Structure 1
Amino acid sequence: MGQKVSTTAFARVGTDEPHHSRRKAILAKHPEIKELYGPDVRLLPMILAIVAVQLGLAVYSTQLEGWKWFFLCWSLGGTLTHWLSLGNHELSHNLCFKKTFYNELLGMVANCGQGLPSCISFKKYHLEHHYSQGVDIIDVDIPSDWEGRFFNTRPKKVFWVILQPLFYALRPLVVNPKPLSVMEAINGIVTFAFNAAFAFTFGFKAVMFNIAATLLGMGIHPVAGHFISEHYIFKEGQETYSYYGLLNLVTFNVGYHNEHHDFPRIPGFKLPMVRRIAPEFYDPLHSYDSWSGVIYDYIFRSDLGPYSRIKRENKKAA
């Protein structure tokens, strides 16, 4: 079955998440960072362009068979659809338009390129990840106890990485279920109506390309390394980690993750400026230059697994 993971429980802390205090300290020394706050409309043409390329790729893929179709779907399709997912991450913070509705509308356009409705549900849970980082039950970014117990060997961790899109979709419904909102229903209707029209025009295979690319791009894929790199404990005592490699170019700089949690009101385009302005706060922190290396280490290190996360007590549930 492979070597078992030595970590058998979540790391429990009684302290608050580190970002509020660091943000306060940084702003006291570098108040000019506040000038970076606010939406950046550059996100609009970027997302529209990525959707257009992805849809064009999906149409082209209908000419391919077998491994050629799969490889294009995993490689370029997975990169583009994941890029759209991280565009929706930006939109969940209202970082393109000032009005929430316009950000949500653009998120639905992004979902048309992915083939799956996700932007509204993602926002509902992702903001809680910021407000209540690591808090038991509320922060559904943290794996369930069952995941920690079951995916406890190297082969099982490989399957856990592959199945990440499944866990991201279903974990919130099990751990912290919330009623379906009107906007979520609209999100579903818009996405599936587009899928139907796209399939009618170009064939079902084109729609399956978008859906499969989205799922593959969230599994064992270089850009999906950010799921693990962001908050899994690779260095004792550190809760959030940044990545400063080239793949930030196709992920709206989500790798600048300490910077993002410190300043969620700053768009990804400007997060590198935060590090340049306040290097004394970020350079001493452990960071990465390879997301593929993060995935490899997560699978093969016996001290890492789904339990390698920091949890805080849910005071409301206590």
Structure 2
Amino acid sequence: MPSTSVTTTLQISSRLDLSKQAQENHDGDQFFWSYTEEPHRTRRQAIIKAHPEVTKLCGPEPLTKYFVLAVVALQVICAVCLRNTPVLSLRCILAAYVIGATANQNLFLAIHEISHNLAFKAPMANRLFAVFANLPIGVPYSAAFRPYHLTHHKSLGVDGLDTDLPTSLEAFFLDSVLGKAFFCTFQILFYALRPMMVYQLPLTRIHLFNIIAQLSFDYLILRYVGGRALVYLIMSSFFAGSLHPCAGHFIAEHYVFNPQPKSAKEASDPVPVPETFSYYGTLNMLTYNVGLHNEHHDFPAIPWTRLPVLHKIAKDYYADLPHHKSWIWVIWQFIWDEEVGLWCRVKRKEGGRKVVGWREDELESNEQKGAGTPGVK
């Protein structure tokens, strides 16, 4: 199947050769093992050296809080309007898929923005606002998401730290069309449960507040609006992480969709496997520009509204990177292409660090803005 969703300007070594190497060195698994540091820090330093003005793009985006307020209100209104509608009716299912899933995916990614302190200047204000954005999702997760996600940034591809990586068990048992279809249908559950299987976080006050606030909101919906309204919200969250166009970003961001080398010469002279893929399509308008994922990993302290500006300033650094053109096509290819699957992730044994504590906020902010980079003031 042709890989039209990924540019072929950057050729990489064949999956067969890499899989053989992985089998020899890593107990039979077929992940793409890397022995170099993740690429984003190096590219960030190069971009800052060439375009120091990009550091001025860092900092909170005031618009974020207004969009979150609007989407939370939309979901509450929809839940109220559907309070007397049977949950298995076509009307409720369509509303949950078309409106609810899009809205809750938007809130997932609002929490993603807020986890980088990009809604307010004060860290505590961001934590509390993330709990508010979490409410229509129906299940408390914002407090736990932040440390797992920041560790993903600090430890990209590091086995045992990056919980975005599928486990060998998942990759082995889901290595088929039906297995990948199952994964895509229920991927929200994999992303919710996998982190706890990799390592557990300490229970903090913000975790308790997140749980109490969410259960209180769910009780109020259940008590004063009805059970069908709460089911609508939870159904929206399920569809948001299932076979939904916007859910394509989960797979598009870091799974390797690799074109095969065109010649034996290319196969014998490979370049590093790309670890992050951007998407520049229209669905970014609904998802806080999460598709600009190389840009985001290079500069996590730049908010969604300024990522296109970063891309424009540093276009020479991004123009030749492989990228996706359609999240729908990503899901389709992931399921049907036998060369793509859960094994198609770059892993490394060492590097990175775990982010868990409150005191790391200042360090995190400085590192994301490029502070400490040689030659940058």
The equivalences for 1:296-311 within 5 A come to 296-311=332-347
Label 1:274 to 1:300 Cα distance change in 2 as closer, same or farther (>3 A): same
CA shift, 1:49, in A, is 0.5
Which of the numbers 61, 77, 82 marks the counterpart of 1:61?
82
Query: Separation in 2 of the partners of 1:267 and 1:69?
Result: 34
Determine whether 1:75 maps to 2:98. yes
- In 2: Cα distance, 1:89 partner to 1:38 partner: 15
Query: Contact 2:154–2:352 at 8 Å: present in 1 too?
Result: no
1:283 aligns with 2:283: no
The structural deviation recorded for 1:176 is 1.5
Q: In structure 1, give the amino acid aligned to 2:300.
A: P
Runs of 4+ in 1 over 4 A off after TM superposition: 5-8
Task: Give the stretch that moved more between structures: 103-112 or 59-68.
Answer: 59-68
Q: Give the secondary-structure state (helix, strand or coil) at the position aligned to 2:347.
A: strand
User: Which of 152, 156, 169 is equivalent to 1:133?
Assistant: 156
Amino acid at match of 1:50: V
Contact 2:155 2:351 survives alignment (8 Å)? no
Question: Partner letter of residue 67 of structure 1?
Answer: L
Asked if residue 25 in structure 1 is aligned to residue 46 in structure 2, the reply is yes
Give the superposition deviation at 1:315. Answer: 5.9
TM-score of the two chains, using structure 1 as the length reference: 0.95
C-alpha contact (below 8 Å) 1:38/1:266 kept by paired residues: yes
Deviation at 1:316, TM superposition (A): 9.2
Aligned-pair distance for 1:304?
1.1
Q: In structure 1, the residue corresponding to 2:33 is in which secondary structure?
A: strand
1:218 to 230, 241, 244: 241
In the TM superposition, residue 143 of structure 1 has moved relative to its aligned partner by 0.6
Residue of structure 2 aligned with 1:176, choices 161, 185, 199? 199
In the alignment, which residue of structure 2 is the partner of 1:13? 34
C-alpha distance after superposition, 1:29-82 (max 9, x if no partner): 111111101111111111011100111111112243312211111121000001
Give 2:251's aligned residue: 228
The whole-number CA distance in structure 1 between the counterparts of 2:314 and 2:289 is 17
Q: Aligned partners of 1:314, 1:205: CA distance in 2, in Å? A: 47
Work out whether 1:39 is the aligned partner of 2:60. Answer: yes
Residues 179 and 206 of structure 1, relative CA distance in 2, 3 Å threshold: same
Q: Secondary structure at 1:117's aligned position in 2?
A: coil
AA at the equivalent of 2:45? K
3-state SS, counterpart of residue 38 of structure 2: coil
Q: Distance in 2 between matches of 1:167 and 1:288?
A: 23
Is contact 2:156-2:352 (8 Å) kept? no
Task: Name the SS of the counterpart of 2:191 in structure 1.
Answer: helix
Give the letter aligned to residue 332 of structure 2: Y
Q: Distance in 2 between matches of 1:43 and 1:178?
A: 27
1:216-265 alpha-carbon deviations (Å, 9 max, x no partner): 11111100100000000013621100000011011000000000000000
Q: Once the 2 structures are TM-superposed, how far is the Cα of residue 116 of structure 1 from its aligned partner? A: 1.3
* Structure 2 unaligned blocks of 5 or more: 1-14, 20-28, 260-272, 354-377
| 8 A contact 1:137–1:314 mirrored in 2 | no
- Secondary structure of the corresponding residue to residue 133 of structure 1: coil
When residues 238 and 316 of structure 1 are mapped into structure 2, their CA distance, relative to the original with a 3 A threshold, is closer
State the Cα RMSD in Å.
1.6
Instruction: Give the letter for the 1:56 counterpart.
Output: I
Q: Matched residues in 1 for 2:193 and 2:110: separation?
A: 21
Inter-partner Cα distance in structure 2 for 1:75 and 1:155? 25
What amino acid maps onto 2:97 in structure 1? W
Tell me the matched-pair count: 313
Amino acid at match of 2:127: E
From 273, 294, 301, the equivalent of 1:265 is: 301
Of 166-175 and 247-256, more deviation after overlay is shown by: 166-175
State the Cα deviation string for residues 281-311 of structure 1 (Å, max 9, x = none). Answer: 1110111121001000100110111111000
Distance in structure 1 (CA, Å) of the matches to 2:351 and 2:145: 24
In 2, Cα distance between equivalents of 1:164 and 1:277 = 35
Q: Whose radius of gyration is greater, 1 or 2?
A: 2
Task: Tell me if structure 2 keeps the 8 A contact 1:235–1:286.
Answer: no
- The amino acid of 2:327's aligned partner reads W
| Aligned 8 A contact 2:155 2:352 in 1 | no
Contact 2:240 2:247 in 1 (8 A): yes
Q: 1:316 to 1:263 in 2, by over 3 A?
A: closer
How many angstroms apart in 2 are the aligned matches of 1:63 and 1:189?
27
Q: Which letter does structure 2 place at the counterpart of 1:310? A: V
1:82 is aligned with what amino acid?
A: Q
Give aligned-pair identity as a percent.
Answer: 39
1:192 is aligned, of 215, 227, 232, to 215
- CA distance in 1 between partners of 2:232 and 2:338 (Å): 35
Is contact 1:165-1:218 (8 Å) kept? yes
